[in-house]
Amino acid sequence: MEAYDYIVVGAGSSGCVVASRLSADPAVRVLLIEAGADTNKFWVRTPAGTGKLFMDKRFNWAFNTEAVPTLGGRKVYWPRGKGLGGSSAINGMIYMRGQPSDFDHWAALGNEGWGWADVLPYFIRSESNQRGANDWHGGDGPLHVSDPAIGHPTADDFIAAAQRVGIPRSADFNGPPHEGVGYRQYTIRNGRRHTSYNAFIEPVRHRGNLTVRTGMRVTRVLLEDGEATGVEVQAQGQRRRIAAVREVILCGGALASPHLLMLSGIGDGASLHRHGIVPAVESPGVGRNLQDHWFGSFSWRATAGSSYNHRLRGAQKYVEGMRYLLTHGGYLALGASPVTAYARSEPGRPEADLQLTVSPMTFRFAPSGEPVVDGFPAIGGSMVLLTPDSRGHMEMLSADPLQAPAFHPNYLSEPGDIRRSLAGMRMLRQIAQTQPLASRIVDEMAPGPDTVTDDQLLDHLKANGNSGWHQVGTCRMGNDPMSVVDARLCLRGMRRLRVIDASIMPKIVAGNTNAPCIMIGEKGADMIRADATPARVVAS
């Protein structure tokens, strides 16, 4: 049987880090398995191509949730990356770590070694920041982090207006004081998207002890006598087995990793029995504790010069395209909304729980899934509740590993989430009505000037809001009966098996999730090396 010391399942934000760091030891053999394909395509590498990837099933699993009762029965679209780099190949490239209290809370829950002081060195290690190294940032790591390629006066006016309503200016959201209003940073290098694959695997893919396989679907983890012994895979219509001499490491993300555990007989016993799967480990927390960010959307018709919609339409879009091809600059080199504010929904909150953003461009999706930039000047905005109390779950629908599970996100099921979200929507509207930003706005298109009561705003939030595409928590780290992995990310009840990805987060971070997933990969790889699980004998 084909055998490797470590099998890493999933070449996404965490998996690429784990495989890169483990394969730095020439004495071990590492296999990195990815179900998707190569993502070295023009619109993947071009930052403004994010919209084109939103519904592109070549690079996107394109999941949908079940009907969500708290949203009036809506099903919500969940894009997830499929291919080398995972979701870092289709996301908005925002580099945001969360707040120190997020990680201190993880540690307070009994996860030793996961406090802010413990994880900060891993954030720094992974990063090469355009601004250089300091106490909070790295200057020579694999992942390039940069400022927006081009500024816009509307973004500057949003910052000024937010300051006028009492939100302080921030020069760095990833350094103290970790809240305020300012420009974001992005995982973009020289005008091109810098995925976890580009950063961590591409430069070392020549290593003789590192094997990368694409187009290969892992269908279950092989278990024997209380330990993981390898994986079963499907490729080109055939199934076969690959042995792991030391460990199997699941890095499929918050949706794929728990599903793979269930398929392997690890999860809620009654649920597994219903699908004819004999439980190997009773772990009722698998697929529970599902968390995500929910956002409310805004759009405003704007004055000429307050939006760059016109630069991405008609003949101008070809000018921008040529500009990008020649310089890797201009509007095609921009990531998602360039400016944001981290603020508190209520005065007594211990940390910022709102993310308020504005972008000087707007677009819609045509029935084909193609993004179409609006033909008039407009400004888009969003309010994200960063610390939701609502919890959902996922469950198997079939023992067929190729059938997606059912996702029940349970958005806005907690009254406090609704109250704080409405406060955030009012705050963003207040900023839009404050000078100097107010002078750029002609009228509010959505939710609209007549949407003023709590009930009206809530109706808009339910009908037109959307996922922040930050699903986490489904293989929660902890030391209680509902936790799935321990603080060393080892699966409870099964040896030689770890989960290292967004699913291990006990609580979602108050920010975007890509940078924390890379940190989790860094820390997880260090734990694997430190533990040095001895090789087992594999029958030839």
15 to 87, 323, 445, 518: CA distances (angstroms): 11, 34, 42, 8
φ and ψ at 534, to 5 degrees? Answer: -65, 150
Closest CA to 421 of 462, 393, 381, 463: 462
Separation between Cα atoms, residue 462 and residue 456, nearest integer Å: 10
118 to 95, 107, 172, 505, 529: CA distances (angstroms): 19, 9, 20, 15, 17
What is residue 88's DSSP assignment? G
What is residue 313's DSSP assignment? S
The single-letter code of the amino acid at 286 is V
Separation between Cα atoms, residue 223 and residue 455, nearest integer Å: 52
For 180, left (φ over 0), alpha (ψ -120 to 50), or beta?
left
Separation between Cα atoms, residue 303 and residue 503, nearest integer Å: 44
The answer to whether 470 and 293 have CB atoms below 8 angstroms apart is yes
Separation between Cα atoms, residue 19 and residue 16, nearest integer Å: 5
Residue 525: both structure tokens together: 């790889």
User: How many C-beta atoms lie closer than 10 Å to residue 452's C-beta?
Assistant: 12
Task: Report, in this order, helix, strand and coil percent for the chain, each rounded to 5.
Answer: 30, 25, 45
238 to 174, 234, 235, 400, 401: CA distances (angstroms): 46, 5, 5, 15, 14
515 to 120, 187, 285, 367, 507: CA distances (angstroms): 11, 9, 25, 33, 15
The single-letter code of the amino acid at 215 is G
Catalytic residue among 144, 178, 293, 470: 470
Separation between Cα atoms, residue 410 and residue 291, nearest integer Å: 9
Closest CA to 383 of 463, 466, 448: 466
Strand extents, DSSP E, 360-505: 363-365, 371-373, 378-385, 393-395, 406-408, 441-446, 466-467, 497-499
Closest CA to 162 of 423, 295, 441, 357: 357
Angle formed at CA 148 by CA 145 and CA 153, multiple of 5 degrees? 160
φ and ψ at 513, to 5 degrees? Answer: -105, -10
State yes or no: is 470 an active-site residue. Answer: yes
Q: To the nearest 10°, the Cα dihedral for 25, 30, 32, 38?
A: 70
Catalytic residue set: 470
